Amino acid sequence: FAASYGVYAEDPFNLTILGGEYTGTANGIAVTRPEGWATSLGGIIIKNVDLSGTHQYANTGVGLYLHSSYSNFTNVTARYRQYGLQLYGGGSDAVAIYNNISHSDFSNATTYSIWLDEGSGGYQLGDPNYNLIQYTNMSFAGSYALLIEDGSNNTITTENTYFGSANGIQIVQVGGYSFSDHPRGNKIANVDVSGANQYLNTGTGLLLQNARYHNITNVTAKFRQYGARIFDNSDYNNISHSDFSNATTYGIFLDDNGDGVPLRNPDYNYIGFSNLTYSAGYGLYAEDASNLTILRNDFSYSVNGLRFIVNGNELRHANVSNNTFFNNEWGVIISAGTDNLFYYNNFTNASKGFIDTV
């Protein structure tokens, strides 16, 4: 029943917390640095603790608040909080890197189950990088199950759960518009961020905003408004062997930001071997997205298959091959674009036509 934190530790190294009773605390555990950007903390072990929000603090506060690196957090329960886990970077030191978060439960957060928070400093060294999240429950989040701000080379894989969250995973650049500070190289594999319960047919399964060089494999994001939204200057991402079917708007939305700046379009992305069927709008909708590779995807039974549209810039040099378009109204609609290559695609039973150029 602590009015602030059950445990508040400043500048510890090699701290171990095993078990303990935290019922009714306003917040759970904080491992942090005082202001002044001291050396990053390391060797923290927190295990077998329940930091959930209860009593008057249900659905408020932070379960686990960390400024740590090279640390392990296992079997931590922090349900019914605003943030289950907030891993905070910020400042000029590497303070949120190489953490291992596993076999934990941060479900039922009112905002984010896990928040990899770059902080307010805008320093690239303070970004949350090289963290591993596995075997962890992020279900029933009120906003995004997982938010990664300016974080790179994180691995999100292996038996994490996102069921019933308003949205799935967001990876976003927030520390100022700089090519050097794009989130990049995150690996997302074997996750299901589909819409369910009250969030069936709403929200976004996966949102990349100014995010580059990501490998996204075996992601399921069904029954969403957008299965995946690749936004702004999100370039060189590899999306494959995934299921973005049954979207109420677009299975995948390659979304420019509308400001007319050519450098801020989603270019050089690869989309392959994925399920874009049964979309109520388009299986894939591409705005001002050049140098795309669209290979061996299934657009069957979507109202329309693929659309290329120019929204103030250009769409060119797309390679579209070996895709299946079956039982669509239009297989492909090209509103504008140049030097795009289509070959070996299978168009069958389109009620209005295979390819339309308008």
Assigned token pair, 11: 């500048």
**Could you tell me which residues come within 8 angstroms of residue 241 by beta carbon, excluding any fewer than 6 positions away?**
217, 218, 272, 273, 274
In this model, does residue 315 exceed pLDDT 80?
A: no
Question: Which has more pLDDT, 11 or 81?
Answer: 81
Tally of CB atoms within 10 A around 193: 29
- Indicate whether 312 pLDDT > 60: yes
Query: What confidence category does residue 355 fall into, taking pLDDT thresholds of 50, 70 and 90?
Result: confident
Q: Judging by beta carbons within 10 Å of its beta carbon (0-12, 13-18, 19+), is residue 68 exposed, middle or buried?
A: buried
Count Cβ atoms below 10 Å from residue 73 Cβ, excluding itself.
26
Q: What is the pLDDT of residues 329-338, one digit of tens each?
A: 999 998 877 8
Query: In this prediction, what percent of the chain has a pLDDT beyond 70?
Result: 91
pLDDT of residue 309: 87
Per-residue pLDDT tens digits for 95-151? 789 999 999 999 999 999 999 998 765 555 678 999 999 999 999 999 999 999 999
Instruction: Over range 21-29, report the average pLDDT.
Output: 95
**225 close to 248: Cβ distance less than 8 angstroms:** yes
With cut-offs at 50, 70 and 90, classify the pLDDT of residue 266: very high
